[in-house]
Amino acid sequence: MDHLTLEELNDADGKTFVEILGGVYESSPWVAERARADRPFSSVDALHDRLSRAVEDASRERKLDLLRAHPDLGEQTEMTDTSEQEQASAGLDELSPEQYETFQRLNETYRERFGFPFIMAVRGASPDAIQAAMERRIENSEAEEFRTALEQVHEIARLRLEELLS
């Protein structure tokens, strides 16, 4: 992501605003679209709060689509550049064959149980810590995990905003 100031973002035309923020919530420009009319934002926190509210006000189906837009962790397939960088920062691009197999098994079990991928703000976490979180969260109820996944999506968005607007 390129870096810009909050003032530059506030001053951008509506289309540019949505283009800039369209990936903050993984492949979901509708989130930025819902927030753009509330400009100017006084802080990154205010912007994040508004984007988060756009997600929280969405239908359950729209939230589920947002969760499903995220890639599996440790997966070696196409993903957004930002997701690729975040996973690399956690060493998920350098898993041993055994770790990769474990992540694949956990991803599959999780997706079958909940209907969306395991989501965690992984920047700077270790593969072992991520694996432990996966193993722990697989035991959650569907309602609890849906809420936890959304909280993680909001945290990922906050980290992306902070990087973008540094």
Dump pLDDT digits (tens) for 84-93. Answer: 777 767 677 7
Domain contains 91: yes
Query: Cβ distance 51 to 31 under 8 Å?
Result: yes
Query: Cβ distance 50 to 56 under 8 Å?
Result: no
Domain contains 61: yes
pLDDT reported for residue 158 = 97
Domain contains 20: yes
Q: Is 48 a catalytic residue?
A: no
Query: Cβ distance 3 to 166 under 8 Å?
Result: yes
pLDDT digit string, tens, across residues 101-135: 999 999 999 999 999 999 999 988 999 999 999 99
Domain contains 1: no
User: Which residue type does 51 have?
Assistant: L
User: Which residue type does 104 have?
Assistant: Q
| Helices first, then strands: H and E counts in the chain | 9, 0
Sign of CA dihedral 147, 86, 71, 58: positive
For residue 52, the enclosing domain spans 6-164
The CATH number that applies at residue 148 is 1.10.3330.10
Domain contains 117: yes
pTM score of the predicted model: 0.90
pLDDT band at 73 (very low <50, low <70, confident <90, very high): confident
Number of domains present in the structure of the chain? 1
Q: Cα–Cα distance between 132 and 124 in angstroms, integer?
A: 15
